[in-house]
Structure 1
């Protein structure tokens, strides 16, 4: 995973949510992001073997991140970044503080997915986004013992006000759910969320042609520009 990153001009980010059977109540529509352990392992193997540079992220801070995700990554000498909803820490079905510290000490990255999982576009309009970012980041830092300066946008929603607030707080990188590849160094990074309908073959095809799922050029960058400036 890291060797290919040295010279790779582009990055493909695959994003996971839950693996296996959920042990908490799911939000409406969330079940389509939960995949079987068998499929998770197959997707990891395809991505790691692919010629492209692929990075992994996990959203929401589900307990399966530690129970299934961590051993699978370590067995493959791979790394990932885990974006945690801090209000859920220690709740049934979600990561505990001990599990989060174990992820960090195992070489995994930790980032904020917000405190409440409410869309940050909504919080920016009500003036609550600054507190959400500060409180969630402080919670994570207290647990893992170092600053967490990466963020993943809840529900993938953002606008200019959200991006401006994230820049004020000096986040090093922000992850969207806009699909397609990203250049290796930009601050805003696209991701493809793995769905329960995905297979190893569908992910291999995606990695072969990463912009296919995101729409034809130049429609995708136009849509992104609209979000950034509205």
Structure 2
């Protein structure tokens, strides 16, 4: 199972509409990491968007709890106010974390025109790869929105692993790999239920049906 974070503390840039609900307090973050570290479960951690808080608060918190993560910055936001700098991305890599791509401009990857596909899936990856001087072969889908054409394009371009926001635990190496995103209203009890794979029958069925629909569209 994978827990996904976005922003921690006070944003240092203007947020997109609806984005604020994915920012959590420093206290929430530390409590959540404590639960993850002490759960005894096999839990991955990811960060989307490349916010400055990934470096200022996210990475230090991970170090305190002996954890690592995969960071998915937006290539078009590198070196801009409130987002990661190129040097900070390299530092995250040197600390034992992995770097993937979240695309270029934080837009949907469904029904992409050829020019959009080139920028989001090719140029963004190239910019991040040049930044860290290593291949980038992992991608996190923006907004959790995808269809069969999206997955086919990512596979054709050689991405080794692709992450969604479908939630739930998983076995093996599904395509895409589901993640559970914390929000400002997420409680420790919510996280404990996820870590115990205790989401309930009807939520599980809805999640499975939603993923199946997106996979086959």
Query: Shared topology, TM-score over 0.5?
Result: yes
What is the CA distance between 1:226 and its match in structure 2?
A: 1.4
Contact 2:169 2:197 (C-alpha < 8 Å) held by counterparts: no
Matched residue, 1:6 = none
Matched residue, 1:227 = 214
What is the CA distance between 1:125 and its match in structure 2?
A: 4.5
Matched residue, 2:168 = 180
The whole-number CA distance in structure 1 between the counterparts of 2:14 and 2:146 is 26
What is the CA distance between 1:207 and its match in structure 2?
A: 1.4
> What TM-score do the two structures reach when normalised by structure 2?
0.95
Contact 1:179 1:211 (C-alpha < 8 Å) held by counterparts: no
Matched residue, 1:192 = 180
Contact 1:206 1:212 (C-alpha < 8 Å) held by counterparts: no
Q: Secondary structure at the match of 1:174?
A: strand
What is the CA distance between 1:145 and its match in structure 2?
A: 1.1
Matched residue, 2:61 = 72
Q: Which runs of 5+ in 2 are unaligned?
A: none
The whole-number CA distance in structure 2 between the counterparts of 1:27 and 1:194 is 17
Matched residue, 2:153 = 165
Give the paired residue count.
217
- The Cα offsets for residues 49-68 of structure 1, whole Å up to 9 and x where unpaired, read as 11321110000000000000
- The Cα offsets for residues 82-123 of structure 1, whole Å up to 9 and x where unpaired, read as 01111100111000001000001111011110001110004x
What is the CA distance between 1:228 and its match in structure 2?
A: 1.3
The whole-number CA distance in structure 2 between the counterparts of 1:58 and 1:166 is 20
Pick which of 220-229 and 85-94 moved more: 220-229
* Alignment RMSD (CA, Å): 1.6
What is the CA distance between 1:199 and its match in structure 2?
A: 2.1
**Residue 142, structure 1, aligned to residue 130, structure 2:** yes
What are the within-5 Å matches in structure 2 for residues 9-158 of structure 1?
Answer: 12-122=1-111, 124-125=112-113, 128-158=116-146
**For the structure 1 residues 183 and 95, does the alpha-carbon distance in structure 2 shift closer, same or farther, using more than 3 Å as the test?**
same
The whole-number CA distance in structure 1 between the counterparts of 2:127 and 2:41 is 35
Structure 1 residue ranges (4+ consecutive) displaced by more than 3 angstroms after TM superposition: 210-214
The whole-number CA distance in structure 2 between the counterparts of 1:98 and 1:176 is 27
Matched residue, 1:7 = none
> What TM-score do the two structures reach when normalised by structure 1?
0.89
The whole-number CA distance in structure 1 between the counterparts of 2:202 and 2:32 is 19
What is the CA distance between 1:203 and its match in structure 2?
A: 0.7
Contact 1:159 1:228 (C-alpha < 8 Å) held by counterparts: yes
